[in-house]
Amino acid sequence: MEYNVKVWRQKNAKAKGHFETFAFDHDCREGICGACSLYVDGRAHGPDDAVTTCQLFMRHFKPGATITVEPWRSGAFPVIKDLVVDRTAFDKIMQAGGFITVRTGSAQDGNNILIPHDDAELSMDAAACVGCGACVATCKNGSAMLFVAARVSSLALLPQGRPEAARRARAMVAKMDELGFGNCTNTRACEMECPKHVTIDHIARLNREYLKARFSE
């Protein structure tokens, strides 16, 4: 099968017309998440199906189709070169508070800490986030709220995450703002594009956690 592929390049790039001359980011973290940092025909991810994404998604094009490939463009994800996008802003947000500081030691007995089933399910839904950044790339505000909400929510719902919940919410939101991500205006574009189906319910939980944290200062 043959496709026509239009690839975005920098103005000063040497137009040799071969893929191998392009800088390209290979860090697709699960092979299903859109982490190649590309818009394919204007979409940051692909069809609304968790098992098809841009590389696999391309296989759904009809032979002879013209496919346009561009790097994600969002203020906090600067383009390094051609199709390579710098997403280390997500790592910095995680370093600000996306963890729990406990000694893990050896594994505890199962069910040592009882967690209501619904809370465990919601936490796992949020923890499914793979940190790809498709939510930011598709948001007209360049907001990272869905990503931050997934991290804050997955820990806030569990007893292990409660002791540092306030500090975590404050620190991660502050870092997100510092790095230049935009604000959420509830367009739900992030939810539509997320390959792991993280929902904006988690943004509502993040907002509650953040408000509680500010009142507890």
Selected from 9, 87, 175, 196, the binder of ligand SF4 by CB under 6 A is 196
Q: Is 46 in the site for ligand SF4 (CB under 6 A)?
A: no
CB of 120 to ligand SF4, least distance (A): 19
| Count of beta carbons in the 10 Å neighbourhood of residue 68 | 14
* Contact status, residue 146 vs residue 188, Cβ threshold 8 Å: no
* Total length of the chain: 217
CB of 141 to ligand SF4, least distance (A): 14
Which one, of 59, 85, 83, 84, lies nearest residue 74 by Cα? 85
| Count of beta carbons in the 10 Å neighbourhood of residue 127 | 17
Q: Is 165 in the site for ligand SF4 (CB under 6 A)?
A: no
Applying the rule CB under 6 A, the residues between 16 and 45 that interact with ligand SF4 are 33
Applying the rule CB under 6 A, the residues between 108 and 137 that interact with ligand SF4 are 129-135
Contact window for ligand SF4 (CB under 6 A) among 75-83, 102-110, 188-196, 209-217: 188-196
Selected from 146, 155, 171, 189, the binder of ligand SF4 by CB under 6 A is 146
Residue with the two structure tokens 């209501």 = 116
Cα–Cα distance for residue pair 154/1, rounded to 1 Å: 43
Q: Is 194 in the site for ligand SF4 (CB under 6 A)?
A: yes
Q: How far is CA 76 from CA 42, 175, 180, in A?
A: 19, 12, 5
Q: Which residues bind ligand SF4 (CB under 6 A)?
A: 33, 129-135, 146-147, 150, 194-196, 198
